[in-house]
Chain A
């Protein structure tokens, strides 16, 4: 049979628990004081010789892989401070070093050496006398008759237009395109070919063996 709980019992029970706790704490304090005085009264004793070394030697060194150390080093934030004026000599040395490297380095292109395909080509200078022309381009079988990239330069006398290009040995047809619309053959060339459109193309023979005098 259960007894009905009386709310008036609760304060009484709480106060008795508090009294019990206080007594327990007092006892504990007394024990601690006794222990303290006992420790004070104990004689001092030195640690055995070599204790530290024996402990350290018994510990195995912890090895970290190199890449982990590099990774950690790379991840660690750093602050760099510098004075711009002090960087000037370093920059000069860097520029000088690069210049020397490009001048004498292994990747420097030897001016004497040439692409074999280029070396097999023969330089030919085309000239046209046309003082009234605004622009002159060289078109021919060697550039698929495309005037782009083959514009002739006006020489100092303002009458002559000239362009030097490299051509393979053999026979080539060509003409001058004056002011982008007028087709003019090379009057100094003895050979020609009808272009079918009502004009003549000049014919040029490029050869390494060239007759010079008779």
Chain B
């Protein structure tokens, strides 16, 4: 009888020990994760990560749709971005985009890593080309963006090496247009001629941001690449704004206060 009672007590004690041990273990594991998330949020906030991004990550973590470790890894990424003096906004935007598209955290982290490598690559190419010339975050981002627009690193590096780099803002615009004209299958050698003309004459100003759109519409209306290139180069040599190039192609400009739908002309617009 006594032996039976002793055995039951031992079993109960052992069960209690197991419960206590498992609770301590899980607490021990959870505590550092919580602390590291808090520390990462604090650090991310310091380097300028927006509250919107932080709230989005936190709410997903609270719903157990994101692992704490993954959140910490993403947030710590911004420390590197800041250390290397890179713009934070494109990386924040990529996280927001990935979360909205329900991309797994590992994939988002991999894409951020690739983007970081793109930034390092473009900066390296520019350093070789321009030596001491300072480049703004905005221009750097435009050049990196052209890599996502369909041109390879080699194409970008070759273009930068061959182009005049008096004005890095114009060079950034040129790389962006290079990628966009490739997307509408505009003749590549004519593209380079147009852009080099603009860079040489220092005339690839802000209004020329919309060059690819005008070219796309002109091609759609039946203008040949050669006709377009002649008109563009003539306007750039004269340092005209984009409107002059549009006029040469027969376009009229209008205020688009009430339209149009992208990809679908608004017939009701005045």
Contact = CB atoms under 8 A, between A and B. Distances in A.
A190 B216 contact: yes
Interface string B207-245: 001101110111001110000000000000000001100
Contacts of B184: 190-191
B100 A214 contact: no
Contacts of A122: 256-257
B30 interface: no
Contacts of B216: 190-191
14 contacts: A123-B259, A124-B260, A124-B261, A127-B263, A145-B93, A175-B101, A177-B100, A190-B183, A193-B149, A195-B148, A210-B253, A210-B260, A213-B252, A214-B250
A214 B93 CA distance: 37
Contacts of A214: 217-218, 221-223, 249-251
Interface in A197-214: 197, 199, 202-205, 207-214
Given A141-B93, A145-B93, A177-B101, A125 B260 contact: yes
Contacts of B250: 213-214
B73 interface: no
A204 B209 CA distance: 12
B31 interface: no
A144 B93 contact: yes
A195 B210 contact: no
Contacts of B32: none
Nearest to A207: B210
How many chain B residues sit at the interface, stated as a range, is 35 or more
Interface in B92-112: 93-94, 96-103, 107-108, 111
B102 A181 contact: yes
Contacts of B259: 123-125
A136 interface: no
Nearest to B90: A141
B266 interface: yes
B64 interface: no
Contacts of B254: 209-210, 212
A144 B262 contact: no
Nearest to A211: B251
B258 interface: yes
A131 to B, nearest CB: 17
B256 A210 contact: yes
Interface in A156-214: 162, 170-171, 175, 177, 181, 183, 186-197, 199, 202-205, 207-214
B257 A123 contact: yes
Contacts of A205: 209-210, 212-213
B96 to A, nearest CB: 5
B129 interface: no
Closest 6 CB pairs of A and B: A188-B263, A211-B251, A214-B221, A125-B261, A196-B111, A209-B253
Interface in B127-175: 145, 148-150
A126 interface: yes
B3 interface: no
B217 A146 contact: no
A187 B263 CA distance: 8
A104 B254 CA distance: 35
B115 interface: yes
B199 interface: no
A139 interface: yes
Given A125-B266, A205-B210, A208-B256, 6 more contacts: A145-B97, A145-B101, A194-B148, A205-B209, A208-B257, A211-B251
A171 B100 CA distance: 20
Contacts of B115: 196
B261 A197 contact: no
B52 interface: yes
Nearest to B111: A196
Contacts of A197: 97-98, 101, 103, 107-108, 111
B122 interface: no
Contact of A127 (B94, B213, B261): B261
